[in-house]
Amino acid sequence: MGWLSRLFPGSKKPATPPAVTEAKTPEGESIPPERVGLDGEYDQSGLAKRVAAAFDSDSQLDDVDTLWVAQTGGTVVLKGKVPTQAFLDQAIAIAEDVEGATSVDSSQVTVG
């Protein structure tokens, strides 16, 4: 199924990721990096969706249906359960690299 479609049904990964730093509203106002959606539009869950899309792009990170991605401002929040510490470390590394992520909170993830 994939991360993006499981966590955000109806969302489709864009062919080209948006330029987060250049995203603007129709009125010409800058969009905060954590609110830039998959197509460069304003999206309250934009960062979480872009992290899910980044997870889909990593061939080594299988979709685990017991892990969820959310956000609080620029913080990516991972919740649930993962099979190994290595899996969690990979997910954190990917999330940290998504533009607009200021930190990653994995305190709500259990391993095993």
d(CA 81, CA 79): 7
Q: What is the mean pLDDT of residues 46-52?
A: 96
Question: Distance between CA 71 and CA 85 in Å, rounded?
Answer: 21
Region of poorest pLDDT, from 19-33, 37-51, 87-101: 19-33
Instruction: pLDDT band for 5, please (50, 70, 90 cuts).
Output: very high
- Please state, for a pLDDT cut of 90, what percent of the chain lies above it: 75
pLDDT at residue 63 greater than cutoff 80: yes
